[in-house]
């Protein structure tokens, strides 16, 4: 059985994101006598039909080339190649507008409003709506904190022109800043084939709001509360069927868990932060194969 472990052509935009994890995972799976080969998803020379299963590990730049990525998914569907995670789930997960569907299904999320492409952003209305002094804006299709803004009541006029220019190109999400991210941290729960594997708590460096490690955030292996685990399990049952991997990101706020993102395309899986993580990944993959 031939497997493709899909990565991307690193152009240096997102330093260090996942490369060590990918290398270790490839080595681990190869030692288990699986025939696994790295493939770059944008490489036009790859014969994808030669593979029995294609694993979307790190197509990290998909949000910079979203039309090309969707065309690639269409090609894989046309060839009839099995993809993990399934292409239907990946398409749904491409646009963070899915958060609104999750909320409609009864799950708590970080409060979110969508500004459609070519829409108008006026900061004052959001400060009033959420009774907050700080808001976060991010593209609906994005990753790695690309074009993500933290805006306060004091500096909002500095950003309005820039954001309205960006809105001519793509839609944005607006959310109130959750102070719990700085004083409690952001949870990431990792599941393989629907089964919980491990979790970490990500804490930004002092004065920042971005928890990514390449912005100085700390990553702490931690066991989540029971109610957080229950939330994540229920969420995956409904929105991540047939997925090899899933990462549930969120924050505890006023005694409840609020979803920030459900990562089903190219997340860091924090495999190096748990002794059992690589084994859990491998066993889940074997079950699905």
pLDDT digits 0-9 by tens, 225-278: 999 999 999 999 999 999 999 999 999 998 899 999 999 999 999 999 999 999
CATH of domain 2-94: 3.40.50.20
In the chain, which segments carry CATH 3.30.1490?
A: 113-176
- CA neighbor of 226 nearest in space, from 262, 202, 252: 252
Question: What CATH number matches the domain at 180-288, 3.40.50.300, 3.90.870.10, 3.30.470.20, 1.10.1740.10?
Answer: 3.30.470.20
pLDDT value, residue 206: 54
Do residues 282 and 29 lie in contact, with contact meaning Cβ atoms separated by under 8 Å?
Answer: yes
In the chain, which segments carry CATH 3.40.50.20?
A: 2-94
| pLDDT per residue as tens digits for the range 78-88 | 999 999 999 99
Q: Which residues of the chain have pLDDT under 70?
A: 13-18, 204-217
pLDDT value, residue 211: 45
247: Cβ contacts below 8 Å, ≥ 6 apart: 188, 189, 190, 191, 261, 262, 263, 264, 267, 268, 269
Place of tokens 């920030």: 260
In the chain, which segments carry CATH 3.30.470.20?
A: 180-288
pTM value? 0.92
Within 10 A of 58 (CB to CB), how many other CB atoms are there?
Answer: 26
In the chain the first and final C-alpha atoms are separated, in Å, by 9
Do residues 203 and 211 lie in contact, with contact meaning Cβ atoms separated by under 8 Å?
Answer: yes
């Amino acid at each position: 059985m031939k497997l493709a472990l899909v990565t991307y052509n690193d152009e240096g935009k997102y330093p260090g994101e996942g490369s060590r994890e990918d290398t270790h995972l490839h080595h681990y799976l190869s030692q288990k006598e699986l025939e696994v080969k790295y493939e770059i998803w944008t490489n036009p020379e790859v014969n994808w039909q030669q593979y029995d299963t294609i694993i979307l590990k790190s197509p990290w730049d998909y949000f910079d080339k979203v039309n090309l990525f969707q065309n690639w998914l269409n090609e894989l569907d046309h060839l009839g190649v099995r993809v993990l995670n399934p292409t239907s789930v990946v398409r749904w997960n491409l646009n963070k507008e899915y958060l609104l569907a999750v909320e409609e299904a009864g799950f708590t999320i970080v409060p979110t409003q969508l500004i459609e492409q070519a829409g108008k952003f006026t900061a004052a209305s959001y400060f009033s709506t959420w009774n907050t002094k700080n808001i976060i804006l991010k593209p609906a299709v994005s990753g790695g904190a690309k074009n993500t803004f933290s805006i306060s009541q004091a500096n909002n006029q500095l950003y309005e022109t820039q954001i309205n220019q960006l809105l001519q190109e793509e839609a944005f999400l607006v959310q109130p800043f959750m102070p719990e991210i700085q004083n409690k941290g952001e949870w990431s729960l990792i599941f393989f084939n629907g089964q919980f594997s491990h979790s970490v708590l990500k804490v930004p460096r002092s004065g920042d709001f971005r928890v990514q490690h390449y912005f100085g955030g700390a990553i702490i292996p931690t066991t989540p509360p029971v109610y957080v685990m229950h939330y994540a399990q229920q969420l995956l049952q409904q929105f991540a069927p047939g997925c090899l991997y899933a990462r549930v990101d969120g924050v505890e706020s006023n005694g409840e868990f609020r979803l920030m993102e459900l990562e089903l395309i190219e997340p860091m899986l924090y495999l190096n932060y748990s002794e059992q993580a690589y084994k859990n990944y491998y066993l889940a993959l074997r079950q699905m194969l």
